[in-house]
Structure 1
Amino acid sequence: MSNLKAQDSALILIDHQIISMGFIKTQSPDVAKMNSITLVKAAKVLGIPNVWTSSTEDDNQDWWMPGLEEINPEAYANRVKRTGIIDSWDDPDFVRAVEATGRRTLLMAGTTNDGCLIYTALSAKRAGYEVYAVLDAGGSVFQISDNAAQLRMMQAGVLLTTTAAILGELAKDWATPHGAQIRQLLAENLTTAIGGFGLSK
């Protein structure tokens, strides 16, 4: 089993905004939304701190994605609102927020994978963090762009993963109280996926 531990990890969400999510074409944006919500719920169960950041939110009126604030109001209130910086790691406020978690493993998702996620993931890796890119909590406009981003991240030592895989690694044992809660979250996620999506409401 993986060495990934909840107590070492922080969840990083980058540009999970309404307009930005619309650029996801490599899968349904509703899938990315559902997986992002599942990640935030699981982080709450496991006591994993969150750092969220948005890009030109006010200037473009590209508001944070509905459904996340209710789960973690503190992360929403403290989100780092970048005013144009593309690589979140170039924003000192973002780096300070990540450092303040005291965690050295970053579970990172962004919209898009070939934009905000890849830049921040590569920079965090260079800064000495272990980085897991949760690919299905985001996406890209074009599949070739997504493939290239995945390859570049992998070559740099970023670990590519999915929502279900990362939560299984974190849960360790379904028989534990936390494991049972994570298993329930994954079951709800799968049921929603099989039954179709009404997540945009």
Structure 2
Amino acid sequence: MIGSLNQETTALFVVDIQTSFLKSVVQIDEIIINNKCLIESFFELKIPILMSQHNKKKFGEIVEPLRYCERLSSSPLSIIKVFDKTTYSMYTEELGQYIQENLPYLKSIILTGLESHVCVLQTALNLLEKGYEVHVLNDAVASVNSKELKSSLKRMKQSGVFLTSTESIIYQILLNDNHPNFKKIEEFNAQRLFQLNNITFFLPYLSSSGNPPEKSIPVCISQLPRPSEMVGYTF
């Protein structure tokens, strides 16, 4: 098992990126930007995207930038599916049945989301038990503190999870720049990098006093301009 990927036998699982975590999870803004890029890229590649939300009444809905992506599921392609859950693991009986009926060819799962030491970890272990190859993106998962993130990534690696990153996984699937979707995926990735490098410019949540505010993220990330639209801006 070396962790190679085939576009035809791969799916993206996004775990519980919900509104209640916006003020508590470390680097939540980067996590949302990376996941948005992944969802847009995988939608373009027609790779199935399964998303979960845990106890929606308590923890809220999927954050708005990713709900924007979720609304792509109204497309005739309809490759995005959202599952409600109350167990920590995303791999519920409902999800297992869905895979059996709709994705019987599935071999590799790219796993992202929150929190890495609880729901992501338990989802990864369940998927490994079911015989899937699991790839966790270390820049697209997070926890309430960096120690939990570090220990959970180590724990998953010990169990056989492949650890990688958003950009690495995108290019691993593309294989080369002759891929028919290469230019569009490059555009998504360029937008991601631009947003990550200019978060403080685009997310004006600093207090008037200049002191760091309570950790939060506005709902307008999905509206961030692309690099080509930034002519005339200074930093």
Alignment TM-score, normalising by the size of structure 1:
0.89
Question: Partner of 2:33 in structure 1?
Answer: 34
In 2 relative to 1, CA 179–93 (structure 1 residues): closer, same or farther, beyond 3 Å? same
Tell me the distance in 1 between the aligned counterparts of 2:3 and 2:126. Answer: 23
Which runs of structure 2 are paired with 1:85-100 in the superposition (5 Å)? 85-89=87-91, 91-99=92-100, 100=102
Tell me the distance in 2 between the aligned counterparts of 1:135 and 1:115. Answer: 15
Q: Count the aligned residue pairs.
A: 196
Tell me the distance in 2 between the aligned counterparts of 1:139 and 1:127. Answer: 24
Aligned: 1:128 with 2:128: no
Which runs of structure 2 are paired with 1:58-77 in the superposition (5 Å)? 59-60=57-58, 62-73=60-71, 74=73
Question: Partner of 1:52 in structure 2?
Answer: 51
The unaligned stretches of length 5 or more in structure 1 are none
The residue identity in structure 1 corresponding to 2:14 is L
- Give 1 or 2 for the bigger CA radius of gyration: 2
> Which residue of 101, 105, 116 maps to 2:119?
116
3-state SS of paired residue (1:79): strand
Question: Partner of 1:168 in structure 2?
Answer: 171
The residue identity in structure 1 corresponding to 2:83 is V
In 2 relative to 1, CA 129–45 (structure 1 residues): closer, same or farther, beyond 3 Å? same
The residue identity in structure 1 corresponding to 2:88 is I
The residue identity in structure 2 corresponding to 1:70 is Y
Q: Does the aligned pair in 2 maintain the 1:108–1:121 contact within 8 Å?
A: yes
Question: Partner of 2:9 in structure 1?
Answer: 8
Tell me the distance in 1 between the aligned counterparts of 2:161 and 2:4. Answer: 15
Runs of 4+ in 1 over 3 A off after TM superposition: 75-78
Alignment TM-score, normalising by the size of structure 2:
0.77
Which runs of structure 2 are paired with 1:127-166 in the superposition (5 Å)? 127-166=130-169
Tell me the distance in 2 between the aligned counterparts of 1:129 and 1:123. Answer: 9
> How much has 1:175 moved relative to structure 2?
3.6
Coordinate RMSD, CA, aligned:
2.1
The unaligned stretches of length 5 or more in structure 2 are 204-216, 221-235
